[in-house]
Amino acid sequence: MAAEHYNYWVVVILMMAGFYVVIRARNLVKKIVGLNIFQTSVFILYISIGKVAGGSAPILAPGITTYSNPLPHVLILTAIVVGVATTALGLALVVRIHEAYGTVDDEEIQTQDADP
Amino acid sequence: MTGSDLPVLLVIVPLLAAPLCLVLRRGGAAWAVALASSGYCLYAAYTLLGTVRAGGTLDYAMGGWPAPWGIAYRIDLLNAYVLLLVAAIAAVVVLYARVSAAVEIPRHQHARFYAALLLCLAGMLGITITGDAFNLFVFLEISSLSSYALISLGRDRRALTASYQYLIMGTLGATFILIGVGLLYMLTGTLNMVDIAGRIQGLAGNRTLLAAFAFLVAGIGLKLALFPLHLWLPNAYAYAPSVVTALLAGTATKVAVYVLLRFLYTVFGYDLAFADAFLHYLLAALAVVGLLVASTVAIFQDDVKRMLAYSSVAQIGYTVLGISLLNQTGLTAALVHLFNHGLMKTALFLALGCVFYRLGSVCLDDLRGLGRQMPWTLAAFVAGGLSLIGVPLTVGFISKWYLVLAALELGWWPVAVVVLGGSLLSVIYIGRVVEVAYMQPRPAGAERVREAPLGLLLPTWALVAATFWFGIDTGLTLGTAGEIAGQLFGGGR
């Protein structure tokens, strides 16, 4: 059972690992890394559900009748672009935060804001 | 520019106007572009609502590809209603932005600011108009990414951390939605909402469907700032520039409510979504606790913008409460409140923007005695506040009246008491501002403050006037909302 659905296990493990880093990490850059792992798990979810058992790569060729579904791949290309944009914006914010606070540590930022 | 292409133009015009702002580079020119395109959106949204009211649901196949192969825009009364709200708020806010942004945003950022504002608008209109679940995710991210950038333009450095926090939570929410859409695609092999809805009937109890449902509701809850997923909202609203706060308060959470309704009623359908009454009680409980806690926290805020932000969380509670009651009156109340709260909260934040324009602060202490020096601004604030409390003849009264009726219809009289109790709490926090501004003298040695310029006052008062107009003439709001509620229940039952 587990071996049959191993792709979902990979997804779940990656997703929880990423989620844990987002919640637990104090370093703002590490949080973004966690967010990336979290998003990547969803990319894998989409890509793996596009596989049709016994299907070939979705390139038209003579003699092949069963193809894998290319649509999830196309969808996830869009999601990857969105992910890259989010990462870039997040990192840009971290740079600005570092300029303003002199640190990228979540708790230190909070103490700085608590007593200005 | 034929009328039949209006649905796509509504999204394309602001989307293309955004890079145009960047090319023009000059703040004034960018503002003119933003004003023209948001004005066009308002016109298009108004026309669409008229068309849909007269002729029923409108289908638009993108690029001529018929649904479910192509991306389809499907405009029924619910979309058209939310589109009009978003476009109207955006047009007023852009009108206001010229004067306000001049003092709150560095000059060299103006063109980028308007570009981000237009992208945000295009994203929100896109979310509302699309009939494709994946397309919705993409537009959601367009509007979210630009709103993170807009929030970070605030002058306080805490705007940066607020924006970062929102980015993390917003991305988690959007990714949850992406997972939900993926699972639905897995089950049905389609992304078209109507198509999905047709194919998942009879799958009740399917575990993948249940997981998709859970991910979608949680993800939308995050974007909606549904208590207790609201943690990003107070800071984001408090530290963003006044214009941005006004825009987001009036539109972003409203669009999220729309997405929730769309998935609950159109995609899953009433029978699947509320099959075991779990969501019925969960949403009601979260809404009640949320509105009480957030209203109470609002009372203890010294930053008035932050106070209104917590009040927004409470108002989301009212809206969700209306949805959770699961009767037609409740849904009508939620839809009316969606519109009404958009009007009044934007008016309140615009009034605060006027104060900020003159004082550079919206702390309660700095507002002492301001009632006499900025009479029009503070009068607008009081008028908006009365609406928030729910005084008769204002829009706030209409939505709360129907909410109480809906709760009583269900026999949930404690909930009706909570709604009234929430109003009393808002009397306290609005009262604090009124007391400080009107009863206390100006601090000794403080400079005389002049009234805000007309460029700020006119848009503010336009919205304030709307809160009274729609409080008395409820034909557009209540009439449409009732019809939508009827349609949603008609389709699901």
Contact criterion met (CB < 8 Å) for A101 and B157: yes
Residue A72 lies in a domain: yes
Of A35, A72, A100, the CB nearest to B157: A100
Half-sphere exposure of B161 toward its Cβ, with a 13 Å CA cutoff? 24
**Which residue is listed with tokens 């969803």?**
A42
Task: Using CB atoms, pick whichever of A89, A97, A113 lies closest to residue B148.
Answer: A89
Q: What is the CA radius of gyration of chain A?
A: 20
**Cα angle B289-B295-B297, degrees, rounded to a multiple of 5:** 100
CA of A87 vs chain B CAs: smallest distance (Å): 10
Contact yes or no for B182 and A46 at CB 8 A: yes
Q: Is residue A1 part of a domain?
A: no
The token pair that represents B365 in the structure block:
């202490």
Would you state the pLDDT for residue B364? Answer: 86
Residue of B nearest to A75 (CA): B134
pTM of the model: 0.92
User: Residues of B407-423 as b/e, b for ≥16 C-beta within 10 angstroms?
Assistant: beebebeebbebbeebb
Residue A45 backbone class (left: φ over 0; alpha: ψ -120 to 50; beta: rest)? alpha
Token pair listed for A63: 């003699």
Q: Which residues of B368-377 are buried (b: 16+ CB within 10 A; e: fewer)?
A: bbbbebbebb
Tell me if A55 is assigned to some domain.
yes
Give first-to-last CA distance, chain B, whole Å. Answer: 39
Q: pLDDT tens for residues B201-241?
A: 878 778 888 899 999 999 999 999 888 888 899 999 999 99
Pair B259, B220: CB distance under 8 Å: yes
Residue B7: pLDDT band with limits 50, 70, 90: confident
pLDDT of B493 higher than 90: no
- Chain A positions in Cβ-Cβ contact with residue B179 (cut-off 8 Å): 42, 45
Residue of A nearest to B69 (CA): A71
With contacts defined as CB-CB under 8 Å, which chain B residues touch A86? 141, 145, 167, 171
Say how far residue B389 (Cα) sits from the centre of its chain. Answer: 18
Q: What is the pLDDT of residue B491?
A: 54
Taken in order B4, B10, B15, B21, is the CA torsion positive or negative?
A: positive
Give the residue carrying structure tokens 């919705």: B136
- The pLDDT score that the predictor gives to residue B442 is 82
Q: Which of B164, B168, B171 sits opposite A97 (nearest CB)?
A: B164
pLDDT at B492: 42
CATH number at residue A89: 1.10.287.3510
On the question of a cis peptide bond just before residue B68, with omega within 30 degrees of 0, the verdict is: yes
Using CA atoms, how far apart are residues B222 and B225, in angstroms rounded to an integer? 5
* Cβ atoms B313, B289 nearer than 8 A: no
Pick out chain A residues at pLDDT < 70: 1-3, 115-116
Under 8 Å between Cβ of B416 and B404: yes
Provide the number of structural domains found in chain A: 1
Contact list, B157 vs chain A (CB under 8 Å): 97, 100-101
- pLDDT at position B241 is 92
B218 and chain A: CB distance < 8 Å anywhere? no
Phi first, then psi, for residue B303 (nearest 5°) are -90, 120
| Domain range enclosing A48 | 6-114
The answer to whether A89 contacts B145, with C-beta atoms less than 8 Å apart, is yes
What's the pLDDT at B455?
A: 86
Testing the interface with B: which of A68, A82, A84, A109 to mutate, by most B Cβ within 10 A? A82
Q: How many CB atoms lie within 10 A of CB B450?
A: 9
In whole numbers, what is the pLDDT of chain B averaged over residues? 88
Looking at the DSSP bridge assignments, the partners of residue B61 are B72
Token pair 């869009």: residue? A78
CA–CA separation, B372 and B368 (whole Å): 10
Which positions in chain B touch A82 (Cβ < 8 Å)? 138, 141, 145
Q: Does A43 reside within a domain?
A: yes
> How many CB atoms are located within 10 Å of the residue B173 CB?
24
User: B235-259, pLDDT tens digit by residue?
Assistant: 999 999 999 999 999 899 999 999 9
pLDDT tens string B55-90? 888 888 887 788 778 888 888 889 999 999 999 999
- Buried b / exposed e along B135-153 (16+ C-beta atoms within 10 A): bbbbbbbbbbbbbbbbbbb
155-184 of B, contacting A, C-beta below 8 A: 157-158, 160-161, 163-164, 167-168, 171-172, 175, 178-179, 182
Out of A22, A46, A75, closest to residue B172 by CB: A22
Contact B168 A100 (CB under 8 A): no
> Across the interface, which of A19, A49, A82 has its CB nearest the CB of B138?
A82
For range B373-402, the mean pLDDT: 89
**CA–CA min distance A55, chain B (Å):** 16
pLDDT in tens, B26-46: 888 999 999 999 999 999 999
Nearest residue of A to residue B145 by CA position?
A: A86
> What mean pLDDT comes out for the span B354-372?
86
Q: What is the pLDDT of residue B1?
A: 40
Q: Which of A45, A85, A90 sits opposite B164 (nearest CB)?
A: A90
Q: What is the mean pLDDT of residues B394-409?
A: 88
pLDDT digits over B144-158, tens only?
A: 999 999 999 988 889
